[in-house]
Amino acid sequence: MEKEFDYKGLFDKHYQSAVRYACSFLHDAEEARDVVGDVLLRMLELGDRLNANLNVSSLFYSMVCRKCLDIVRRRQRLEDAKDYMKQTADRISEDELAALCQKELFRIIGQTVYRLPWSERVAFSEIRMEGKSYREVADHMNLTWRSVEYNVKKATEKVREQLRYLYG
């Protein structure tokens, strides 16, 4: 019979060294703690797939490394985009730059809204983009206006989170 995995033991034994490890990539202790915390939560989600016979510490550090590298790559892409924008800004007018930024912003919002669950996507689109009232949307979706309000709030939070993720 397989022994159940010891999450507390993993945390007690490896948390501090994993934070230092993540910090060596990210150079930000708070962000490193967030990464390690996210990885620990992911391991909890893996649940029954983890057992005492696996080399879980290697998996744990590998997941921390992968998440850190994703963050470093995202930072680099952002820096590259900023450099490109600076170079491009010298060649285009203020109005063209504003239009380009607005177009990119709408593209990101559109992609984010497209990935939302149906109820959130419809409520957000009809209220925020089409200017309909909560009552109209509630009637259309056959929901209460409170449910529509909740769906719009959740969708708005997800859009903000995505923008914060991309633009800091």
Q: Could you say which DSSP state residue 116 is in? A: S
Residue 158 CB-half CA count within 13 A: 18
Considering the domain architecture, whether residues 67 and 110 belong to the same structural domain is answered as no
What pLDDT is stored for residue 10 in this prediction? 79
Per-residue pLDDT tens for 15-45?
999 999 999 999 999 999 999 999 988 888 8
Note the pLDDT tens digit of each residue in 49-67.
776 556 788 888 999 999 9
3 band by pLDDT with thresholds 50, 70 and 90: low
Pair 134, 153 in one domain: yes
For the record, the structure tokens of 60 come out as: 């744990």
How many domains is the chain partitioned into structurally? 2
Q: Where a domain ends, among 51, 68, 91?
A: 91
User: d(Cα 127, Cα 120) in Å, to the nearest integer?
Assistant: 11
Task: Indicate if 85 and 104 belong to the same structural domain.
Answer: no
The fraction of the chain above a pLDDT of 90, given in percent, is 39
Domain boundary among 57, 91, 125: 91
Are 115 and 84 in a shared domain?
A: no
Residue ending a domain, among 91, 118, 138, is 91
Instruction: Give the model's pLDDT for residue 87.
Output: 72
* pLDDT of res. 54: 67
Asked if residue 110 and residue 44 are part of one domain, the reply reads no
- CA atoms of 99 and 88, how far apart (whole Å): 13
For 131, the domain range is 93-168
Does 105 lie in the same domain as 45? no
Calpha distance 158→34 (Å, rounded): 19
Q: Are residues 24 and 59 in the same domain?
A: yes
Query: Which pLDDT value is given to residue 1?
Result: 43
